[in-house]
Amino acid sequence: MADLRIDLAGIKSPNPFWLASAPPTNSGYQVQRAFEAGWGGAVWKTLGDPILNVSSRFAAVSFNGQRVAGFNNIELITDRPLEVNLQEIYETKKRFPDHAIIASLMVEPKQEKWHEIVKRVEDVGVDGLELNFGCPHGMAERGMGSASGQVPELVEKQTYWVKEAAKTPVIVKLTPNITDITVTAEAATRGGADAISMINTINSLAGVDLDTWNTVPHVAGKGAHGGYCGPAVKPIALNMVAECARNPLINVPISGIGGISNWQDAAEFILMGATGVQVCTAAMHHGFSIVEDMIDGLNNYLDEKGIASVMDLVGRSVSRYSNWGDLDLNYKIVAEINNDVCINCNKCHIACEDTSHQCIDLYTEDGRPMLKVREEDCVGCNLCSIVCPVDGAITMVERQSTVPPMTWNERQSLISSLSK
């Protein structure tokens, strides 16, 4: 079987599957249960000055029968004393010495505060530190979390302060609630971060109850914005990981977070530059045992690809992720409909006729309804294949172009040279 061991900035674990800093890593009991189930590491729920949490605090967005397509929470950092958490970290690390335990930290943006908590946490034997510059609610209103994480100067300065005191690797957790995450990732790198993790949760409101008009969730009739995660945020997270992985100024390992629910999601993040992944919502939805399928699935995938180690998979797709201006304008694909498989629901025709390029014709052959794509009008947008409910009924196929490849940037350069 393939070797699933990873080394993320010097933090080693038996596999790339870590639990993210969240309710599943709130106590030693939970983290030890997770390690018994097979998780390779855990980022302990964020430590700092204990706070009071509210009730209620979670909400979910379901879509088309899928429960927990997205997850919203207004829970804050640990509400348990630091001394209790530290004792449980010590006991857990002693029992599971080969598993990675990373302490998530959040304090006021003051040098002495960071130095103090770093020393106390490292004294109990953690393998690394994760600086929580991402929490978008509650703590941000107090000047911490994403309030710090949205300011590159603060990210750089606080990372530097932690590195002054830290003896273990430092991971900086980034907020997605910013126009360009590479700006803060670069700041973390300048500050000396050994790695970055992303994404933390996205500002959100899960919904409004149409009977009571209360927000979902609400606390005694009042609501507040929370953090959004779960499968719905995966494309956002994957893009941000990719943008950082291809940026030459961000030359540190990445821990990928955001909507990872199975081994396929994990493999995508690893291909796009993540050394390992962190999971939260899927574990909250299905329990710790989901890691068994993740391990088996990734193992089988690597074996099928002939890849000996998961570390050899890291970043293999990064070079294929580019700017729009570098895409070939002359590349051609078209839709092809297999009428032997088609069930004549006509969803492709409706979608194309109403909202795309009107290139799918309806006709009858031997008394049977048929569909055909007019290739000369098809722009290869993929919409018909996306809305089709039957696998294999519509295929997007390449057509050889009669003209050489040309990107937008090349086109503009050519136009500029001809105009001179």
Radius of gyration of the chain (CA): 25
Task: Give the least confident one: 51-55, 80-84, 96-100, 283-287.
Answer: 51-55
Task: Check residue 335 and give its pLDDT.
Answer: 98
pLDDT value at residue 141: 76
Q: What residues form DSSP beta bridges with 171?
A: 130, 195
CB 277 within 8 A of CB 18: yes
| CATH placement of domain 328-398 | 3.30.70.20
Instruction: Give the model's pLDDT for residue 295.
Output: 98
pTM of the model: 0.95
- Quick one: what percent of the chain has pLDDT higher than 70? 100
Task: Give me the CATH code for the 6-320 domain, please.
Answer: 3.20.20.70
pLDDT band at 143 (very low <50, low <70, confident <90, very high): confident
The model's confidence at residue 84, banded by pLDDT at 50, 70 and 90, is: very high
Q: Over the stretch 239-273, which tens digit does the pLDDT of each residue have?
A: 999 999 999 999 999 999 999 999 999 999 999 99
pLDDT given for residue 137 in this prediction? 80
Tens of pLDDT, residue by residue over 48-59, are 988 888 898 999
* Catalytic member of 135, 352, 378, 384: 135
pLDDT averaged over every residue in the chain: 96
End-to-end CA distance of the chain: 61
Strand partners, 198: 256
pLDDT at 135: 85
Alpha-carbon gap, residue 128 to 130, rounded angstroms: 7
Check whether 147 has a pLDDT greater than 80. yes
Three-state DSSP string of the chain: CCECCEEECCEEECCCEEECCCHHHCCHHHHHHHHHHCCCEEEEEEECCCCCCCCCCEEEEEECCEEEEEEEECCCCCCCCHHHHHHHHHHHHHHCCCCEEEEEECCCCCHHHHHHHHHHHHCCCCCEEEEEECCCCCCHHHCCCHHHHCCHHHHHHHHHHHHHHCCCCEEEEECCCCCCHHHHHHHHHHCCCCEEEECCCEEECCEECCCCCCEECCECCECCCEEEECHHHHHHHHHHHHHHHCCCCCCCCEEEECCCCCHHHHHHHHHCCEEEEEECHHHHHHCCCHHHHHHHHHHHHHHHHCCCEHHHCCCCCHHHCCCHHHCECCCCEEEEECCCCCCCCCHHHHHHHHHCCCCEEEEEECCEEEEEECHHHCCCCCHHHHHCCCCCCEEEEECCCCCCCCEHHHHHHHHHHHHC
Residue 266's CB is within 10 A of a number of other CB atoms, namely 27
Q: Is the pLDDT of residue 420 over 80?
A: no
The pLDDT assigned to 18 comes to: 98
Q: Where are the domains of the chain?
A: 6-320, 328-398
Q: Which amino acid is at 173?
A: K
Mean pLDDT of 300-316: 98
Nearest CA among 47, 86, 70, 37 for reference residue 232: 70
Long-range pairs for 327-332 at CB < 8 Å and ≥24 separation? 327/407, 327/408, 328/405, 328/406, 328/407, 329/406, 329/407, 329/408, 329/411, 330/401, 330/403, 330/404, 330/405, 330/406, 331/401, 331/405, 332/380, 332/398, 332/399, 332/400, 332/401
d(CA 310, CA 312): 5
Whether the per-residue pLDDT at 138 is higher than 80: the answer is no
For residue 134, the model assigns a pLDDT of 85
Active site residue 378: no
